[in-house]
Amino acid sequence: MIIVHDTFVCKPGNASKAAKMFKEVMGKSPNLVHILTDLTGQYHRVIMVSKYDSLAAWEKAQEEYINPSPDMKANMEQMKDFQQMYASGSREIFKVW
């Protein structure tokens, strides 16, 4: 199993808005496990935790962004303002043992 952490450092005042947006748009995704906001550590973080059966399954999911379905296009439209909400981000991919 693969666990993916997509971390976004939001501009002040936008972390809760971004978390809510993720929950509304991606909440029904079978791969989404949690949407987290910070209580300690670096401020203004939103972490999206996803799980996949394999790295190949994660890669396949990423390909959907290249050739989006109508549903994916609708989700992307809902997220169009997200680019303005964060300052930086990173991704960590972990193998579960």
Provide the whole-model pTM.
Answer: 0.87
Residue-level pLDDT at 48: 94
Residue-level pLDDT at 74: 82
Domains of the chain: 2-95 (3.30.70.100)
Q: pLDDT tens, 5-59?
A: 999 999 999 999 999 998 988 877 889 999 999 998 889 999 999 999 999 999 9
Residue-level pLDDT at 3: 98
Residue-level pLDDT at 42: 87
Contacts 24+ apart (CB under 8 A), 19-26: 19/46, 21/78, 21/79, 21/82, 21/85, 22/46, 22/48, 24/78, 25/75, 25/78, 25/79, 26/75
Q: pLDDT tens, 72-89?
A: 788 778 888 888 889 999
Cα–Cα dist 54/1, whole Å: 5
